[in-house]
């Protein structure tokens, strides 16, 4: 099968597309892939690094307020559609897969106008603007949260596929994460991470709680500061946390460390939650308030409703509150076990295959 993948802007849009492509290749080595993104987006660096052919179009997102810049965006969209049609005619895909981000707009729209089967995937509980627009043209819609399906047109086929990035963490070997951190086998630890670039509010809270970590009943804390915050955070904490805290700027083996974690304190991006539920990890979720439609809070509340996580809003965040909640959970094995079971029930370990089946079906219907 010949497949065009498109998605960009953030890793949450890029990595699901890459995961789908790699799954298709694994099941059929004759699969041909092409990824269409933007030259300035992180996809232009990530995708070639995954050995997937990459082409770029020029497009920007719409501003939510009336702006002359939106007129320019419309012109870029039309130009992007023409460029996409050219690329699609040359590659001749059997199906086009869009995983979100404004770059998907002209690519999936162009495919629909050319009569090429299209599939869009929505990672968040609240659909993004691009996918809402494309839902009118897509042949099939996959969602990561069951409640998202009702937010798309009823006439469209929408299925609960889960998020395909979840399969990555399941391949991680237990014990490798602890070994990479220099921690003894069997160490119970809470992993605190504020996203790939870190989060200022979370760093401030960990600095505040560092002198009080002895309250965690022997559990260790691993804090991923984000590279821009690492030196300042390390300096402010100093020796106040004793040997109970490991600070790292970034984790290149996040899957391995997650696999060994006891509790996770995290933002609630869709990819992070897919990994957390895949591993059945209890979590404390601190949604970023600086995202479109406040979708991270909606993501988090989906897990909270299921009993898999605790919610702590950033406006209520402090070192004392976070530490108390961590202490409460780590000291209650029955509650942690219940949260773990609830998280596992939300997992969709065969997400990539569910999407693959939908793509094969679309291709067969075309034939």
H or E segment and range at residue 305: helix 295-305
Q: What mean pLDDT comes out for the span 251-272?
A: 95
List b or e across 33-47, with b for residues whose CB sees 16 or more CB atoms inside 10 angstroms.
Answer: bbbbbbeebbbbebb
Comparing 2-163+350-366 with 169-346, is the CATH topology the same? yes
| Per-residue model confidence (pLDDT) at position 153 | 84
Output phi, psi for 26, to 5 deg: -65, -35
Q: Which residues contact 147 (CB under 8 A, 6 or more apart)?
A: 125, 302
CA nearest neighbour of 249 among 265, 260, 236, 233: 233
Both tokens assigned to 355? 């999407």
Mean pLDDT of the chain: 93
For the stretch 333-351, pLDDT in tens is: 999 999 999 999 999 989 9
DSSP string, 206-243: HHHHGGGGGGGTT-EEEEE--TTTHHHHHHHHTTTTTT
Q: What mean pLDDT comes out for the span 353-364?
A: 95
Distance CA 354, CA 166 (A): 13
User: If 0-12 CB within 10 Å is exposed, 13-18 middle and 19+ buried, where does residue 64 land?
Assistant: exposed
CA nearest neighbour of 35 among 9, 19, 49, 54: 54
Alpha carbon of residue 323 to chain centroid? 26
| Per-residue model confidence (pLDDT) at position 69 | 63
| Per-residue model confidence (pLDDT) at position 293 | 86
Is pLDDT above 70 for 33? yes
For the stretch 211-235, pLDDT in tens is: 999 999 789 999 999 999 999 999 9
Distance CA 202, CA 326 (A): 14
Is pLDDT above 70 for 179? yes
Distance CA 37, CA 56 (A): 5
What DSSP character marks residue 264? E
For the stretch 111-135, pLDDT in tens is: 999 999 999 999 999 999 899 999 9
Under 8 Å between Cβ of 145 and 302: yes
Distance CA 74, CA 70 (A): 6
- What value, to the nearest 5°, has the Cα angle with vertex 109 and ends 160 and 24? 50
Residue range 2-163+350-366, CATH number: 3.40.50.2000
Is pLDDT above 70 for 270? yes
Is pLDDT above 60 for 279? yes
Task: Please count the other Cβ atoms lying within 10 Å of the Cβ belonging to residue 131.
Answer: 27
Q: What mean pLDDT comes out for the span 186-195?
A: 94
As annotated, the binding site for UDP-N-acetyl-alpha-D-glucosamine includes 10-12, 124, 196, 296
Both tokens assigned to 303? 């897990």
Q: What mean pLDDT comes out for the span 88-96?
A: 98
Is pLDDT above 60 for 323? yes
User: If 0-12 CB within 10 Å is exposed, 13-18 middle and 19+ buried, where does residue 180 land?
Assistant: middle
CA nearest neighbour of 264 among 294, 231, 298, 219: 219
Specify the CATH superfamily of domain 169-346: Glycogen Phosphorylase B; (3.40.50.2000)
Is pLDDT above 80 for 60? no
Q: What mean pLDDT comes out for the span 30-37?
A: 97
| Per-residue model confidence (pLDDT) at position 113 | 97
Is pLDDT above 60 for 67? no
Beta-bridge partner residues of 160? 143
Question: What percentage of the chain reaches a pLDDT higher than 70?
Answer: 96
As annotated, the binding site includes 10-12, 124, 196, 296
> Which residue did the predictor score with more confidence, 289 or 72?
289
| Per-residue model confidence (pLDDT) at position 159 | 92
Is pLDDT above 90 for 156? no
Distance CA 92, CA 195 (A): 37
- What value, to the nearest 5°, has the Cα angle with vertex 83 and ends 78 and 84? 95
| Per-residue model confidence (pLDDT) at position 10 | 86
Q: Which of 66-75, 78-87, 185-194 has the lowest mean pLDDT?
A: 66-75
Can you give the residue ranges of every domain in the chain?
A: 2-163+350-366, 169-346
Is pLDDT above 80 for 63? no
| Per-residue model confidence (pLDDT) at position 166 | 84
Q: At which residue do the structure tokens 């849009």 appear?
A: 13
Is pLDDT above 60 for 64? no
Q: What mean pLDDT comes out for the span 166-177?
A: 90
Q: At which residue do the structure tokens 């630890």 appear?
A: 189
Distance CA 311, CA 321 (A): 12
């Amino acid at each position: 099968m010949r497949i065009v993948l498109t998605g960009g802007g953030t890793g949450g849009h890029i990595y699901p597309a890459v995961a789908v492509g790699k799954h298709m290749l694994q099941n059929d080595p004759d699969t041909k892939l092409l990824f269409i993104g933007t030259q300035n987006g992180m996809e232009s660096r990530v995708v070639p690094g995954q050995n997937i052919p990459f082409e770029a179009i020029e497009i920007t997102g719409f501003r939510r307020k009336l702006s002359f810049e939106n007129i320019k965006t419309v012109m870029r969209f039309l130009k992007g559609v023409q460029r996409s049609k050219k690329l699609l005619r040359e590659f001749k895909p059997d199906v086009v897969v869009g995983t979100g981000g404004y770059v998907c707009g002209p690519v999936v729209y162009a495919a629909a106008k050319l009569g090429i089967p299209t599939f869009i995937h929505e990672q968040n509980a609240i659909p993004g603007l691009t996918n809402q627009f494309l839902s009118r043209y897509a042949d099939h819609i996959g969602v990561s949260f069951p409640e998202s399906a009702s937010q798309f047109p009823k006439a469209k086929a929408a299925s609960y596929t889960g998020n395909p990035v979840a399969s990555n963490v399941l391949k991680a070997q237990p014990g490798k994460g602890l070994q990479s951190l220099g921690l003894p086998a069997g160490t119970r630890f809470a992993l605190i991470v504020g996203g790939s670039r870190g989060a200022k509010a979370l760093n401030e809270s960990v600095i505040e709680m560092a002198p009080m970590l002895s309250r965690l009943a022997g559990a260790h804390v691993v804090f991923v500061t984000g590279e821009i915050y690492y030196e300042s955070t390390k300096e402010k904490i100093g020796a106040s946390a004793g040997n109970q805290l490991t600070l790292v700027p970034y984790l290149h083996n996040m899957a391995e460390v997650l696999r060994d974690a006891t509790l996770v304190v995290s933002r609630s991006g869709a990819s992070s939650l897919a990994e957390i539920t895949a591993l059945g990890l209890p979590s404390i979720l601190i949604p970023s308030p600086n995202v479109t439609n406040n979708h991270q809070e909606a993501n988090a509340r989906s897990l909270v409703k299921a009993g898999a996580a605790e919610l702590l809003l950033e406006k209520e965040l402090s070192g004392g509150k976070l530490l108390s909640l961590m202490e409460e959970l780590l000291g209650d094995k029955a509650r942690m076990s219940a949260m773990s079971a609830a998280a596992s029930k939300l997992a969709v370990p065969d997400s990539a295959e569910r999407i693959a089946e939908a793509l094969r079906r679309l291709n067969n219907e075309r034939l």
